[in-house]
A and B are shown apart, each in its own frame.
Chain A
Amino acid sequence: MLDQPQLPVAQRTNPERSFTEEVRALRLGEGEIFRGEGILAVTKAILQAGVAYVGGYQGAPVSHLVDVLVESQDLLDELGVHLETCTNESSAAALLGASINYPIRGCVTWKSIVGTNIAADALSNLASPGVIGGALIVIGEDYGEGASVIQERAHAYALKSSLWLMDPRPSLPTIVRCTETAFELSEATNTPVMMELRIRACHVTGEFVAKDNKPPAISRNHRLADPAAHNYDRISHPPSTYAHEKIKVEVRQPAAERFIVEHGLNEFLPGKRSDLGIIVQGGITNVLVRGLDRLELEGRIPTLVLNVTHPLVPEQIADFCRGKRAVLIVEEGAPDYIEQAIHAILRKRDVDTKIYGKDVLPMAGEYTAEVVTEGLLKFFAQSANDIDLSKPRERFEAARAGRTEAQRLLGGPLPLRPPGFCVGCPERPVFSAIKLLEREVGKVHISSDIGCHSFATLAPFNLGNSILGFGMSLAAAGAVAPVLERRTISVMGDGGFWHNGLLSGVASAMFNRGDRILVIMQNGYTSATGAQFIPNTAGNRRDGETTSDIAATLKAMGVKWLRTIRTYNVATMLGGLREAMNTPDKGLKVIVADGECQLARQRRIRPQIAAQLKRGERVVRTRYGVDDEVCTGDHSCIRLSGCPSLVVKPSPDPLRSDPVAHVNNGCVGCGLCGEVADAAVLCPSFYKADIVQNATWWDRLKWRVRSSVIEAMAGA
């Protein structure tokens, strides 16, 4: 865990980036101007709202919330806020259990939809008894361009568990206000509140007027003498659960509807065209307003902005629609929960306004500027043909025609830039080894997982048959292995191992005597989310103590076939895989592929090396190179590695046209290209260069003697 008390705060530096500026922003007081990103504004807002505890599991786009707080330990100490860097979302959701019995405010965060899936059990059991202290769940709605997960809506969870869902308009003052009010709403209705922020909203920059942070009345600085009295009503167990179910719909939901209206959480944007209207999710408002502006209709159409998308307030909706000919619902994603609900609300009240929504806008996919503009054009064409939209339509069509022309000029799709492994990544060699293994034994079923290693499913490796979720790769091979001749390989990161894989995967495979291979990438961080620390992060990598060791854990669980192999050694890794594939041992075979995340390592050692050089100490810099005269331009080495620093350049040979491989100056000297050239018997082009900086007199003497002899021997 990151917030271990024995670890001096000064040493707790996140290797991904430093948050000095952000930490300063969290300390702003009454009346000062906060400037920064959306997710940082949320972080400031929860401190202003007086949270007593914060937790979360990292994932784009909300990692920053916890990351920044990890570096703000001094501030949290002053305020008395407890921070928990949870090992998965389930554990984060369970943290909110503190607000069931105690009037303390808490906030947790994760990436959705995946995180909400993991947290679902705890959320149900939290929502049932309800809370007395405000409970806020900030979910990063990873949807649309740049998303890395399956495209589903968190909305479903709000509906089924009776959690309130906020979807604030992406402007910092609105986001901050919604965050602060969410705690009040939660307390007024005894219900946890979810607040969804899309990717662009998390990263949107802006400013708002800050308030002082509020130290919580009950906190780790002000402890209670006694625990809460036993109250069976607060336990989600029958018969309490039968009562809870009724209270949710009979008491809490009506209270929430009242609160939403009384506090003006939803916004009304006026417009002259009283016969028309638009109802929009708060998060999509900017796209909508700009779309209306494009049609020269901004400020003319009455609009209801739903900063709270569950519950809807039936009377508010009905009042808005009453007397209008047509109303457009702008609701991103499928299914169309809001549109269906609005239909029901109006039907029950005999309001005969024609509702447009997913008939003029697409059912699935991100609502980009272009999509919304096209939907608006259709909506107005069908509902208000008195509005002349010929000019804007012409402009819109011209822009589209221009794009078609541009695509014709470029002649077909451009080369894609899929994410890949960083320069010197310790995970790349494992996949090089798996590729070489496949040359020997034939194709292998690869069960992939979430994490940087999932990039192996893309070029140049193209390895992987399925991804079933975080830490699920071993479990996902459970019924594949018995029907295949060759053993399956499941790949899992150490992040995934601690998140879920240990129990869902390893324990289950052991229990069922699964004859499978598991490769655990032990790089020491959850690297894909910004290099957060995890239980096995080794002491020397974080200057603190390791809480749990993967190999020791596996041994304790009874894993018999266990190898820890340094990843960069491709030949040894290949040997390990070969042995795991061929051994008569029928149990689970685990290879712990060990190699520190290179990105984190570089951030750690670069300043150290710079300091050494400055002090005049001897430092050997290693990097690799390709002899362009020896390389013939087949690029096998690239297909087996894909290292970003292994590039191509024009052949220096006047007789050859194929470009040759080249190692650029990004090389960190991990040695993989040499290892691959060796293990795959590629070619003699690669060389390793060790450059001695601040050489000693002995280095220099040796070098001078050798150089003079070699120069004399050298050929033309």
Chain B
Amino acid sequence: MSRPVTLLIGALGGDGGGVLCDWIVSAAQSQGLGVQATQIPGVAQRTGATTYYLEVMLARGLSSSVLALNPAIGEVDVALATELLEAGRMIFNGFVTPERTTLIASTHRVLAIGERMAMGDGSFDVGRLLRAVKERSKEQILFDMDQAAEESGGVINAVLLGALAGSGRLPIPDAAFEASIRHAGKSVDTNLAAFAFGRGHARGELEQAVREHRKRQAAGHGVEDLLERARRAFPAASLDMVEEGVRRLATYQDKAYATLYLDRLDTVQALGSPELLRETARHLAVRMSFEDVIRVAQAKTSAERLVRVRSEVRAKEHEPLEITEHFKPGIEEIAAVLPPALARRLIGWAERTGRLGKVYFSMHVRTTTIWGFARLRFLASLRWWRPRTFRFVEEQAEIERWLSSIRAAAPLSVDLAREIAESARLIKGYGDTYKRGLQNYHRIADEVIAPTLAGRMAPCAAADAVANARVAALADPEGESLSKTLAAIASSATLRHAAE
């Protein structure tokens, strides 16, 4: 019997996979080709993944042969995916094969919930996906269809239809696909534009400028002499970090603070490892520019930010925009900007009276009103006061302890020192997040780093242990993984100690 062309579509709920399927069916029918389609929408209609399966006869007239309802491994001619992980899923399930399958997929990623909810970076390795895509399919039509959809003003399913038409894998002329879009009657113009984009990309007639992700450098004026000092003192490989650190801290506080940054780095430079210097430079700059209300106010009232918000929320040029900020400072945030003695008394009182972590002041500040903006601007102007605050004093002490453990670890094992530097990554955020991160760091410092520096654990094993504990600390907010990992580290250290 003459074999049908088999097509498998993987889409996310909301991508319009069903409509895409309908377009293909109606285009095939218009050519008198036998066609059958079915789908598994299930409960996945909301945010989950959906699949559609089609068989199209190449000859005219419905063949008497039975068309299948299920895709079979190794027997898919064209696989279409509206997103890269879904292409990966079809490959993972064995449907896409280098002998047979043309893979038409968008290269953009829509992260799954498990990837998004991770406490750090939980996204699946795109390199692996792309490698599998290239090695496990016969031909590929790959481009960022999400971007193409946006540029054409249409929806991704129409781009995919265009790419399918452009692939030439079905004996259906472009006009028939276009007619099915017209026949469906919804958003015809934008869908036709998206179709043309998809077809153009598939045929290599269009070039796609890769959507760039730009890092934003801190402004940092008047620090040329400090940058010059850095260039003289530090290896070239670390300069991107160091220079950014200098600029950021000068903006965050002042030139003296940026000088302190370089002074601190000099002591790390003396340890002789350029990699260690680079990592420490990175984390030290982040730690020294800790998030307090003054910094938040600075960020929220910069001229650049207003422009950014307008473009992010897609406000048109003539459209008035109102921004409302959600703040909820508690007693600790207030104490943070008081002088240490006063702050300690306030926190002590709040602890005694059970108010700590309970009493918060909910503030919705409208930064597009003059009064709202002025209030934040006033907070931002308190920079000069910052070195006198409780938080500043506490942070500097923490930073010094961290730096000294790096310095102490480096002679034992550079790897260990680098892992300690990297562990600063745990300390971030606001409120509970900040407290949890700091606590986790302290647990690692007390239970792994301190025993190693005291000679009770082998430095090379400790480097791995710190890395494992750091990963565990980011595994769950309840700290269960960290507890388990630390317990395992402790018991293996005891064993090794006993064995020695």
Which residues of A are at the interface with B, using a C-beta cutoff of 8 A?
35, 60-61, 145-148, 170-171, 199-201, 203-207, 285-287, 289-290, 293-294, 298, 368-370, 373, 395-396, 398-400, 402-403, 405-407, 409-411, 413-422, 452, 455, 458-460, 528, 623, 625, 627, 629-630, 632-636, 638-639, 642, 644, 646-650, 652-659, 665, 674, 677-678, 680-684, 686-693, 695, 699-700, 702-703, 706-707, 709-711, 713-716
Query: Which listed residue, B117, B429, B477, touches A642 by the CB 8 Å rule?
Result: B117
Q: How far is the CB of B303 from chain A (nearest CB, A)?
A: 4
Per-position 1/0 for B86-98, Cβ under 8 A of A: 0011011110111
Q: Are B300 and A146 in contact (CB under 8 A)?
A: no
Which of B325-333, B335-343, B409-417, B457-465 contacts the other chain?
B325-333
Once A395-B74, A399-B94, A655-B248 are accepted as A-B contacts, the answer to whether A630 and B68 lie under 8 Å apart by CB is no
Q: Are A293 and B1 in contact (CB under 8 A)?
A: yes
Query: Which listed residue, A418, A623, A693, touches B319 by the CB 8 Å rule?
Result: A693
Q: How far is the CB of B29 from chain A (nearest CB, A)?
A: 7
Question: Does B43 make an interface contact (CB < 8 A)?
Answer: yes
Q: Are B213 and A287 in contact (CB under 8 A)?
A: no
Q: Are A689 and B215 in contact (CB under 8 A)?
A: no
Query: Which listed residue, B96, B298, B313, B322, touches A625 by the CB 8 Å rule?
Result: B313
Question: Does B484 make an interface contact (CB < 8 A)?
Answer: no
Q: Are A659 and B123 in contact (CB under 8 A)?
A: yes
Q: Are B97 and A689 in contact (CB under 8 A)?
A: no
A413 and B124 CA atoms in complex are apart in Å by 10
Give the 3 A-B residue pairs with the shortest CB-CB distance, closest first: A403-B94, A399-B74, A146-B42
Q: How far is the CB of B402 from chain A (nearest CB, A)?
A: 16
Once A653-B215, A689-B321 are accepted as A-B contacts, the answer to whether A200 and B38 lie under 8 Å apart by CB is yes
Q: Are A35 and B29 in contact (CB under 8 A)?
A: yes
Once A203-B39, A634-B428, A702-B320 are accepted as A-B contacts, the answer to whether A421 and B66 lie under 8 Å apart by CB is no
Q: How far is the CB of A44 from chain B (nearest CB, A)?
A: 18
A-B contact pairs, 8 of them (CB 8 A): A145-B40, A146-B41, A199-B40, A200-B53, A409-B136, A682-B431, A687-B367, A710-B367
Q: Are A290 and B72 in contact (CB under 8 A)?
A: yes
Question: Does B373 make an interface contact (CB < 8 A)?
Answer: yes
Q: Are A654 and B369 in contact (CB under 8 A)?
A: no
Once A658-B120, A689-B313 are accepted as A-B contacts, the answer to whether A677 and B74 lie under 8 Å apart by CB is no
Q: In chain B between 6 and 55, which residues have their CB closer than 8 angstroms to a CB of chain A?
A: 12-14, 25, 29, 35-49, 53
Residue of B nearest to A398 (CB): B74
Residue of B nearest to A396 (CB): B74
Please name all residues of chain B whose beta carbon is closer than 8 Å to the beta carbon of A687 when the two chains form the complex: 309, 323-326, 367
A627 and B425 CA atoms in complex are apart in Å by 20
Q: Are A286 and B66 in contact (CB under 8 A)?
A: yes
Which of B106-114, B187-195, B489-497 contacts the other chain?
B106-114
Once A402-B74, A654-B217 are accepted as A-B contacts, the answer to whether A677 and B298 lie under 8 Å apart by CB is no
Q: Are B85 and A629 in contact (CB under 8 A)?
A: no
Query: Which listed residue, A61, A455, A688, touches B326 by the CB 8 Å rule?
Result: A688
Q: Are B431 and A690 in contact (CB under 8 A)?
A: no
Q: Are A710 and B368 in contact (CB under 8 A)?
A: yes
A707 and B219 CA atoms in complex are apart in Å by 23
Which of B151-159, B239-247, B447-455 contacts the other chain?
B239-247
Please name all residues of chain B whose beta carbon is closer than 8 Å to the beta carbon of A460 when the two chains form the complex: 113, 117
Question: Does B115 make an interface contact (CB < 8 A)?
Answer: yes
Please name all residues of chain B whose beta carbon is closer than 8 Å to the beta carbon of A655 when the two chains form the complex: 241, 244-245, 248, 282-283, 285-286
Question: Does B67 make an interface contact (CB < 8 A)?
Answer: yes
A414 and B111 CA atoms in complex are apart in Å by 11
Q: How far is the CB of B281 from chain A (nearest CB, A)?
A: 9
Which residues of B are at the interface with A, using a C-beta cutoff of 8 A?
1, 12-14, 25, 29, 35-49, 53, 62, 65-75, 85, 88-89, 91-94, 96-98, 110-121, 123-125, 128-129, 131-132, 135-136, 213-217, 219, 221, 240-241, 244-245, 248, 251, 282-283, 285-286, 291, 296, 298-303, 305-306, 309, 312-315, 318-328, 330, 360, 362, 367-370, 373-374, 377, 380, 425, 428-433, 437, 477
Give the residue among A368, A422, A636 with the most B Cβ atoms within 10 A.
Answer: A636
Q: Are B112 and A369 in contact (CB under 8 A)?
A: no
A403 and B76 CA atoms in complex are apart in Å by 13
Give the residue among A289, A416, A655 with the most B Cβ atoms within 10 A.
Answer: A655
Q: Are B68 and A410 in contact (CB under 8 A)?
A: no
Query: Which listed residue, B66, B70, B322, touches A368 by the CB 8 Å rule?
Result: B70
Q: How far is the CB of A353 from chain B (nearest CB, A)?
A: 26
Q: Are B73 and A400 in contact (CB under 8 A)?
A: yes
Once A406-B96, A410-B92, A687-B309 are accepted as A-B contacts, the answer to whether A682 and B430 lie under 8 Å apart by CB is yes
Please name all residues of chain A whose beta carbon is closer than 8 Å to the beta carbon of B244 when the two chains form the complex: 654-655
Please name all residues of chain B whose beta carbon is closer than 8 Å to the beta carbon of A706 when the two chains form the complex: 368-370
A392 and B74 CA atoms in complex are apart in Å by 12
Please name all residues of chain B whose beta carbon is closer than 8 Å to the beta carbon of A421 when the two chains form the complex: 46-47
A571 and B386 CA atoms in complex are apart in Å by 33
Once A287-B70, A654-B215, A702-B320 are accepted as A-B contacts, the answer to whether A683 and B431 lie under 8 Å apart by CB is yes
Please name all residues of chain B whose beta carbon is closer than 8 Å to the beta carbon of A406 when the two chains form the complex: 91-92, 94, 96, 132, 136
Please name all residues of chain A whose beta carbon is closer than 8 Å to the beta carbon of B40 when the two chains form the complex: 145-146, 199-200, 203
Q: Are B117 and A638 in contact (CB under 8 A)?
A: yes
Q: Are B132 and A410 in contact (CB under 8 A)?
A: yes
Q: Are A60 and B43 in contact (CB under 8 A)?
A: yes
Residue of A nearest to B360 (CB): A681
Once A298-B1, A419-B45, A647-B111 are accepted as A-B contacts, the answer to whether A689 and B322 lie under 8 Å apart by CB is yes
Residue of A nearest to B431 (CB): A681
Q: Are B123 and A459 in contact (CB under 8 A)?
A: no
Q: How far is the CB of B21 from chain A (nearest CB, A)?
A: 8
Q: Are B135 and A409 in contact (CB under 8 A)?
A: yes
Please name all residues of chain B whose beta carbon is closer than 8 Å to the beta carbon of A623 when the two chains form the complex: 313
Please name all residues of chain A whose beta carbon is closer than 8 Å to the beta carbon of B67 when the two chains form the complex: 286
Query: Which listed residue, B39, B66, B72, B313, touches A691 by the CB 8 Å rule?
Result: B313
Residue of A nearest to B66 (CB): A289
A40 and B75 CA atoms in complex are apart in Å by 29
Residue of B nearest to A675 (CB): B326
A293 and B312 CA atoms in complex are apart in Å by 55
Query: Which listed residue, A61, A369, A419, A702, touches B44 by the CB 8 Å rule?
Result: A419
Query: Which listed residue, B75, B362, B377, B430, touches A715 by the CB 8 Å rule?
Result: B377
Query: Which listed residue, B47, B73, B94, B322, touches A644 by the CB 8 Å rule?
Result: B47
Q: Are B322 and A690 in contact (CB under 8 A)?
A: yes
| Apart from the given pairs A459-B113, A656-B286, 14 other A-B contacts in the complex at a CB distance below 8 Å | A205-B37, A290-B66, A370-B73, A399-B74, A406-B96, A419-B46, A419-B48, A633-B120, A633-B121, A654-B215, A657-B425, A674-B326, A678-B328, A691-B313
Give the residue among A406, A656, A677 with the most B Cβ atoms within 10 A.
Answer: A406
Q: How far is the CB of A90 from chain B (nearest CB, A)?
A: 23
Residue of B nearest to A641 (CB): B117
Query: Which listed residue, B38, B367, B425, B430, touches A203 by the CB 8 Å rule?
Result: B38
Please name all residues of chain B whose beta carbon is closer than 8 Å to the beta carbon of A409 when the two chains form the complex: 128, 131-132, 135-136
Q: Are A691 and B217 in contact (CB under 8 A)?
A: no
Please name all residues of chain A whose beta carbon is closer than 8 Å to the beta carbon of B1 when the two chains form the complex: 293, 298
Please name all residues of chain A whose beta carbon is closer than 8 Å to the beta carbon of B330 when the two chains form the complex: 681
Once A146-B41, A410-B91, A715-B301 are accepted as A-B contacts, the answer to whether A635 and B116 lie under 8 Å apart by CB is yes
Residue of A nearest to B220 (CB): A716
Please name all residues of chain B whose beta carbon is closer than 8 Å to the beta carbon of A293 when the two chains form the complex: 1, 65
Q: How far is the CB of B319 from chain A (nearest CB, A)?
A: 5
Q: Are B117 and A635 in contact (CB under 8 A)?
A: yes
A49 and B440 CA atoms in complex are apart in Å by 70
Q: Are A402 and B373 in contact (CB under 8 A)?
A: no
Q: Are B326 and A677 in contact (CB under 8 A)?
A: yes
Q: Are B38 and A205 in contact (CB under 8 A)?
A: yes
Please name all residues of chain B whose beta carbon is closer than 8 Å to the beta carbon of A714 when the two chains form the complex: 301-303, 306, 373, 377
Please name all residues of chain B whose beta carbon is closer than 8 Å to the beta carbon of A652 when the two chains form the complex: 214-216
Q: Are A402 and B136 in contact (CB under 8 A)?
A: yes
Please name all residues of chain A whose beta carbon is closer than 8 Å to the beta carbon of B369 when the two chains form the complex: 706
A689 and B362 CA atoms in complex are apart in Å by 18
Once A627-B305, A648-B111 are accepted as A-B contacts, the answer to whether A419 and B430 lie under 8 Å apart by CB is no
Residue of A nearest to B135 (CB): A409
